[in-house]
């Protein structure tokens, strides 16, 4: 097979805290062709680059083609320094990760925040396909978001568009002040209330989100109260997004985004806080579920 006959692929990498996933999509249709997943090389910068190189070469070898490479990271590249900032994977901070990856792979590489990748995936061929504007939320270990306008990720001059979790919880009640200390150094950040650990802390007793939801479904008053308050907080936080951005659709991802009752309850709750007589904003679950992040990384080379 000549080089001209080899299929051209869109390869996406999702660099997570515990796993690193790679996907190859058909360049034209976006259909998934292959997927690989390995443990993340935690704490090792060189190991992270080596793993990504192995994943890309493994996909290309399996499929007999070559591909563009996009990578989603839990952080961002600083427009000022060209180095990684705001990364939960702290071994990346201060490194020219995109340049080092490009050198290792022998081709240009595009990097974006993992929430941006999630939002791009859902805007391209997911729940928000065809929408003029989309706000893609991650409700997981942390809280973040990505903004897609007209099919393009909005980054901003500071590369922080969508950093929704590090704003204060809107319209706080007295017992919500001053709020928990966030890892960013501030108190009362949305992330401390709406992350998975934040929800679990509200109930206590070491229960996970799925356990709390199950108890509420069984009629447990404490669990129902905790979830009801969580929903009101999430409605307040999303109402400020609607007031500022007025997106056509909001898509919820992350572990907490799998809670089905959110999609039933939030649209009626946020009406109290949105500055409008009607709220036409759609709320949706991600069409690609947990795969949206890695698919969005592949779509960075649209």
Question: Could you tell me if residue 296 is inside a domain?
Answer: no
Contacts of 65 (CB under 8 A, 6+ apart): 6, 7, 8, 9, 24
CATH number at 28 reads 3.30.420.40
In sequence order, the 6+-apart residues with CB closer than 8 A to the CB of 163 are 86, 144, 145
Confidence of residue 3 (pLDDT cuts 50, 70, 90): very low
Residues 6+ apart with CB under 8 A from 196: 139, 140, 141, 209, 254, 255, 256
Specify if 297 maps to a domain. no
- CA gap 39, 239 in Å, rounded: 37
> Which of 93, 114, 135 is the C-terminal boundary of a domain?
114
The pLDDT value given to residue 220: 97
* Same domain for 109 and 41: yes
The pairing of beta strand 32-39 with beta strand 76-77: unpaired
Q: What is the pLDDT of residues 144-199, one digit of tens each?
A: 999 999 999 999 999 999 999 999 999 999 999 999 999 889 999 999 999 999 99
Arithmetic mean of pLDDT, 109-126: 96
For range 224-249, the mean pLDDT: 98
What is the band of 141 on the pLDDT scale with cuts at 50, 70, 90? confident
Question: What's the structural domain count of the chain?
Answer: 2
299 lies in a domain? no
What's the pLDDT tens digit per position in 255-276?
A: 999 999 999 999 999 999 999 9
Residue 17 banded pLDDT, cuts 50, 70, 90: confident
153 & 86 share domain: no
Give me the mean pLDDT over the 211-216 stretch. Answer: 98
Same domain, 72 and 184: no
Q: Same domain, yes or no, for 98 and 150?
A: no
Tell me: do 92 and 155 sit in the same domain: no
pLDDT at 183: 85
Taking Cα atoms as reference points, which of 286, 279, 188, 183 lies closest to residue 240?
279
User: Whole domain around residue 87: which residue ranges?
Assistant: 3-114
Distances in whole angstroms, Cα of residue 214 to Cα of each of 49, 219, 224: 40, 9, 10
Q: Are residues 61 and 195 in the same domain?
A: no
Residues 164 and 211 in one domain: yes
């Amino acid at each position: 097979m000549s080089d001209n006959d080899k299929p051209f692929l869109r390869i996406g990498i999702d660099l997570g805290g515990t796993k690193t996933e790679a996907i190859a999509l058909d360049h034209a249709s976006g259909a998934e062709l292959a997927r690989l997943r390995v443990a993340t090389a935690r704490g090792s910068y060189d190991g992270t680059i080596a793993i990504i190189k192995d994943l890309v070469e493994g996909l290309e070898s399996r499929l007999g083609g070559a591909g563009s490479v996009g990578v989603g990271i839990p952080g961002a590249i600083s427009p000022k320094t060209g180095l990684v900032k705001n990364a939960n994977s702290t071994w990346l901070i201060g490194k020219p990760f995109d340049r080092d990856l490009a050198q290792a792979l022998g081709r240009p590489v595009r990097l974006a925040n993992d929430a941006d990748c999630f939002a791009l995936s859902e805007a391209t061929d997911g729940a928000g396909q065809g929408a003029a504007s989309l706000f893609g939320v991650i409700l997981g270990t942390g809280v973040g978001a990505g903004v897609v306008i007209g099919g393009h990720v909005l980054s901003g001059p500071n590369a922080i568009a969508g950093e929704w979790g590090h704003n204060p919880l809107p319209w706080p009640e007295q017992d919500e002040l001053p709020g928990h200390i966030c890892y960013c150094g501030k108190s009362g950040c949305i992330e401390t209330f709406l992350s998975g650990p934040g929800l679990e802390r509200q109930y206590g007793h070491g229960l996970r989100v799925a356990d709390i939801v199950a108890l509420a479904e069984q009629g447990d008053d404490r669990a129902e109260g905790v979830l009801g308050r969580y929903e009101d907080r999430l409605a307040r936080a999303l109402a400020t997004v609607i007031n500022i951005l007025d997106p056509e659709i909001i898509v919820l991802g992350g572990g907490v985004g799998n809670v089905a009752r959110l999609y039933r309850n939030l649209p009626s709750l946020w009406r109290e806080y949105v500055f409008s007589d009607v709220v036409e904003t759609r709320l949706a679950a991600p069409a690609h579920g947990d795969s949206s992040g890695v698919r969005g990384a592949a779509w960075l080379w649209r």
